[in-house]
Structures are given as structure tokens and as C-alpha cells.
Amino acid sequence: MTVLHESDGIDFRLVCDGCGAAVERLGANLHNWDLAWSFIKRHGWIGDRSRQGPHGCPRCTRRAAAAIDG
């Protein structure tokens, strides 16, 4: 699972399945997963729209693209 809930039960963070980079406090700032995902996706994150993922951060996305381009 790549969306992790914090101990308060409201806040959550998104974790990259590739490198472990995390975007913290998404629930506190964006309030729900759908809004958070639409915002994060515009900033280069890729993956499945579901909370379960997988999800990849912009850095891992660039690495994967560079490896394909060779």
C-alpha cells in the first residue's frame, strides 16, 4: 500500500514505490484522496488512481524514461 494514514486517522501521505520518497500531510492540506491525487499528479507523480498504487515520484519517472531512451 502506498498511501499511509497517520496516527490521527485523518492525515495521510503518499509514498513512492520506487525510492520511498514521501509527500507528507496530504490529508491535512487537501482533505481527501481524490483532491490530493489530482494535485500530486500535476506535479509529476504517476500511478494508479487508487490508494493502493503503485505510485511513482517524478524522480523515479524520469529515471525510468531515461533508461528506456537508453
Using the predicted structure, report yes or no on whether residue 7 has a pLDDT greater than 50: yes
> 2 falls in which pLDDT band (50, 70, 90)?
low
What angle is formed at CA 32 by the lines to CA 55 and CA 45, rounded to 5 degrees? 25
Residue 1, pLDDT score:
45
54's CB contacts (< 8 A; 6+ apart) are: 2, 17, 47, 48
> 63 falls in which pLDDT band (50, 70, 90)?
confident
User: What is Dmax (Cα atoms) for the chain?
Assistant: 45
Using the predicted structure, report yes or no on whether residue 8 has a pLDDT greater than 90: no
Residue 68, pLDDT score:
75
pTM of the predicted structure, to 2 decimals = 0.79
